[in-house]
Amino acid sequence: MSQYTIKKTTTINTSSPPDWQTIDAIAINNYPWYQAGTKQDTQVKISANNDTLFIQLIAQDNYSYAKQTELNNKLVCEDSCVEFFFSPSGVLGSSYVNLEVNCCGTLHLAYGEGRENRQFISLEAASLIQCKTSITSPVKFESEDDKEWTVEIALPFAAIEKMTGESVNKDKWFANFYRCGGRTEPQYAVWHEIDAPEPDYHRPEQFGELVFI
């Protein structure tokens, strides 16, 4: 099972993000459904304090595209997008959050036991989340100058708890990271390998492990 260690610190706050240069990266570099096109690099870094999870996404992207601007729009995944699915209970195969963000910072978050009947995050809980992106426009169309985009998210545990109605396990989660979307050469890459005949990210029983230390 893939495993990533999240080093907790007491010095980070939302106005002073982590020193990302000192944090190891997760590579989203498995392509279980690869057919054709360029396999573009995607990296994720994570840190945390007692209150907040900090996430940095760096996506090489020669065709950056984003159309959706509305929270929880179901088509965010069709934009240039990185997704973070996680079970904050610390139990493999349990109910999970799907956090999806496009290259312009539009978020989609929901919670539930499976792909159907998922509970979307409320406006109140979503307002606690901070998101900063290298692309400052609300939408993005492909350009010959495209190279990469970055997104940084400060995700308070309180926002997760408001959405799930349950306490967050601050020792261990199970999770996976995905790259998808875009109109040209869409990426279907994963961190932890998925055994499925076609792209399917709703596989909590196949998550990797995140350990907080």
Listed in order, strand segments (DSSP E) in 22-95 are 26-27, 42-48, 52-60, 81-87
Q: Residue 156: is its pLDDT beyond 90? A: yes
pLDDT band at 15 (very low <50, low <70, confident <90, very high): low
List the chain domain ranges: 3-8+23-212
Find out whether 55 and 133 touch, Cβ atoms under 8 Å.
no
pTM for the model stands at 0.95
Mean pLDDT of 87-114: 97
Question: Angle CA(173)–CA(125)–CA(91) in degrees, nearest 5?
Answer: 15
Instruction: Output Rg (C-alpha) for the chain, integer angstroms.
Output: 16
Torsion of CA 212, 117, 103, 49, to 10 degrees: -20
Nearest-angstrom CA–CA distance, 3 and 91? 14
CATH of 3-8+23-212, one of 2.30.30.830, 3.40.50.2300, 2.60.40.1190, 2.40.50.100: 2.60.40.1190
